[in-house]
Structure 1
Amino acid sequence: MPPDVLEVGAPDSSGAGMHWRALEGLYASAPINGLFRSRLDIPGEGLSRITFDVEPDCFHAAGAAHGTIYFKMLDDAAFYAANTLVTDRFLLTTSFNLLLSKPIKGGTVVAEGRWVSGRRRVLVAEARLVDAEGDEVGRGTGTFMRSRIALSSLPGYSGSGGPG
């Protein structure tokens, strides 16, 4: 089971570490992520951390981040935490539940993802959002399943994932 606290350690040059770096590259290469100021870091198996800069171009009419931004941040963090355990296939989100607990008025937000259960066909992962003041502003839980898409077939995935 992964630890409760995300701690970034030394770079891992093992097969798992190569897979994690390749997932970071996959995130960076996704066209949708060109619209966001964000960065994925995978500190270990079953864990992810995405740092987002939330700016006014993400706001709804009342001056805070739109709910779609919460979903994007939470889904991505949970997805990548789960995909650290799957080295051969791209995962697909099949369901996602979220709780929005505080408006995000801008600034840096960190999405922390953590794998919860499952390793074969269906995986469950959760994520939480923490704002610049250290307050939790949202959380969510997702269910992810293996697709037929080989990670190695995706241009942004440049690592050797090793056996799945």
Structure 2
Amino acid sequence: MLENHFHKLERMYLSANINTEIFDTTTVKITEGKAEIGLTIHEKYFHALGAIHGSVYFKLLDDAAFFAVNSVVTDAFVLTKSFDIHFRRPVNGGVLTAVGTFKESFDTSYVGVAELQNEYGKVVAHGSGEFVKSKVELTPEIGYR
């Protein structure tokens, strides 16, 4: 049952416009309480100094933590309430992998953390966020199929 939920979340992620139009080399693997997002880095993600823009770090870390949380929330789409990022080193090529983990829930919030690694296993950034359930059910109309 949960495995079907994970596959539907993966398909929803991969079919999102931002992933089909901009981040076209994205990969995703979701299991209970965990999500891995991969991205091959291209120059189109660079800022003026020749390394990836901070928005790319944010997207990968937030997506990984988000889907780790949504893996344990099976009835609704979650939303990012807040997310903090800590940058460690610039990236100008290769493959990045963001690993997100569901940490805990309290009241109406869920906490997820994520670490972003380069292809050599070096951490390039990490982050943590608070997520809340939306009123949007997980249905085929939003790509959950």
TMscore range, shorter length = over 0.9
1:19-43 alpha-carbon deviations (Å, 9 max, x no partner) = 000000110111111211101101x
Three-state SS of the structure 2 residue aligned to 1:51 is: strand
**Alignment gaps of 5+ in structure 1:** 1-14, 159-164
The range that moved more, 146-155 or 98-107, is 146-155
Asked if structure 2 preserves the Cα contact closer than 8 Å seen for 1:48 and 1:78, the reply is yes
Three-state SS of the structure 2 residue aligned to 1:154 is: helix
* Structure 1 runs (4+) greater than 3 angstroms displaced: none
Post-superposition shift, 1:134? 1.3
Partner of 2:28: 40
1:20-74 alpha-carbon deviations (Å, 9 max, x no partner) = 00000110111111211101101x2100101111111000000000000000000
Alignment of 1:64-79 (within 5 A): 64-79=51-66
**Alignment gaps of 5+ in structure 2:** none
Distance 1:61 1:150 in 2: 41
Scaled by the length of structure 1, the TM-score of the pair is: 0.84
Distance 1:101 1:109 in 2: 14
* Structure 1 or 2: more strand by fraction: 2
RMSD value, Cα: 1.2
Post-superposition shift, 1:126? 0.3
Scaled by the length of structure 2, the TM-score of the pair is: 0.95
Amino acid at match of 1:40: V
Partner of 1:30: 16
Q: How many residues align?
A: 143
